[in-house]
Amino acid sequence: MKKHLLVLGAGTAGTMVVNRLRPALSPQNWDVTVVDCDDQHRYQPGYLFLPFGTYTETQVTRARHSLIHDGVDFVIGEVDVIHPETNVVALMDGRDLTYDYLVIASGTSPRPDQTPGMLGKEWRRSIFDFYTYDGALALREALRSFDHGRLAVHVTDMPIKCPVAPLEFAFLAEAWLRERGMRDRVELVYVTPLPGAFTKPIASAHLGSMLDDRKIVVESDFLVEHIDTETKTLVSYDEREVPFDLLVTVPLNMGADFVARSGLGDELNYVPVDKHTLLSTAHVNIFAVGDASDIPASKAGSVAHFSVEIFADNFLELIAGKPMTGSFDGHTNCFIESGDHKGLLIDFNYDTEPLPGKFPVPIIGPMDLLKETRANHLGKLAFRWIYWNVLLPGRPIPLPSHMSMLGKSTEDVSKNEE
């Protein structure tokens, strides 16, 4: 009797899962199905560039079915609830899908409804997001008519998809305004719930100095309680206020609602898993990959890529009756756009913070870690082609899944410890 692998979500992680596993699973013994609510796959890192006109709509959108390998059943439908006790997923339209193994790859989404005043009369008028396709396009129109005042870039709370993206937007906005001769007419403020620019000390200090150099004011440790739409003001729980003329916010990010309805998630609807194997802590035949899990790593495409590589090998061991020997180390690799056609690169994992150095080859590079270079900017732009043509199809990328210390300098770590 055939077994059934069911994947919920045909985004980055879900597409990689089915494309890597379908060729490795015998069609005579396994059916593979992936479910998503529509047939539009978005290149989400491109949302950062849409407001500035760097990318067009067609460059960030493709049909999901065109990206999924032959032999995978693609089902369009919305998930209602998972019944883990019977291995059944119920869809909103009444269909039931059974599984032997389930992979939850439903990602994370911005939830402006969770902050009082955010999703009110000023939404998409003076308050915008760029973490959604529609939001990025609406912000593009707003920037075209914005030429003076206070522009606030705001993060509601962590975790969020691509934690460096708000910083990137602030850097790109500063350069964009400067190029147009409007920088002296716009006050830029970066509002974050973190004590600094980033979560890791060395990178936070480096990125914080970059904000200072660009005269971007940082309002740290700011936990927003509500937005006063009458006065256009962010108000924190400790009653601090940040007024704005144009607010670019990253709303609270949460996992899929069906995860909560199924009793499988934490308070933010992320699925608790073993951080090394991505196996559910509650069910032996359920995994969560990509942004859908609660692993203590960045919710970024690189994490999905590196972890799915390890998951795929582990899964094949599991169904063969063997122990899973792969262990994901939280490897994250992110380009950070800094404006003026330059960028940085950071490389870190669960245990090691971003460090300066060369990547991927010691001494040679060609990428510099924690240093602004044009090569890093070009690497960021080149990744879009890699994403569509190499990453999603499941073709090998010559980068190790586990983080390497080769080429990294520990000098800054020693200074921090002194």
**CATH number of 171's domain:** 3.50.50.60
The answer to whether residues 126 and 227 belong to one domain is yes
Residue tagged 């998503």 (tokens): 36
Number of domains in the chain: 3
- Is-contact 88 6, C-beta < 8 A? no
Q: Is residue 292 part of a domain?
A: yes
Residue 286 shares a structural domain with residue 243: no
Helices marked H in 233-296: 257-261
User: Is 391 a member of any domain?
Assistant: yes
| pLDDT mean for each 10 residues of the chain (418 residues) | 96 98 97 98 97 95 97 98 98 98 98 97 97 98 96 97 96 97 97 88 90 96 98 97 98 98 98 98 98 96 96 98 97 96 96 94 91 96 96 90 92 51
CA atoms within 13 A on the CB side of 399: 19
The strand pair at 96-98 and 224-228 is best described as unpaired
pLDDT of 7: 98
Q: Within this chain, do residues 271 and 346 fall inside the same structural domain, yes or no?
A: no
Which region, left, alpha or beta, applies to residue 37 given φ > 0 means left and ψ of -120 to 50 means alpha? Answer: alpha
Q: Pairing state of beta strands 30-36 and 286-288? A: unpaired
Do 346 and 269 reside in the same domain of the chain? no
Q: Tokens standing for 30?
A: 């396994």
Asked if residue 9 and residue 97 are part of one domain, the reply reads: yes
Whether residue 129 is found in the same domain as residue 242? yes
In a domain, 324, yes or no: no
The reply to whether 35 falls in a domain is: yes
**Containing domain of residue 351, as a range?**
332-417
* Domain final position from 229, 253, 277: 253
Does one domain contain both 245 and 298? no
How far from 4 is each of 10, 35, 103, 135, CA to CA, in Å?
A: 17, 13, 11, 37
Predicted structure pTM score: 0.95
Do residues 280 and 412 share a domain? no
Query: What gap in Å lies between CA 152 and CA 130, rounded to an integer?
Result: 13
Residue 414 is predicted with a pLDDT of 46
Same domain, 119 and 170: yes
Whether residue 409 is contained in a domain is answered as: yes
Looking at residue 418, its pLDDT comes to 45
Element (H, E) at 306: helix 301-319
Q: Which pLDDT does position 413 carry in this prediction?
A: 52
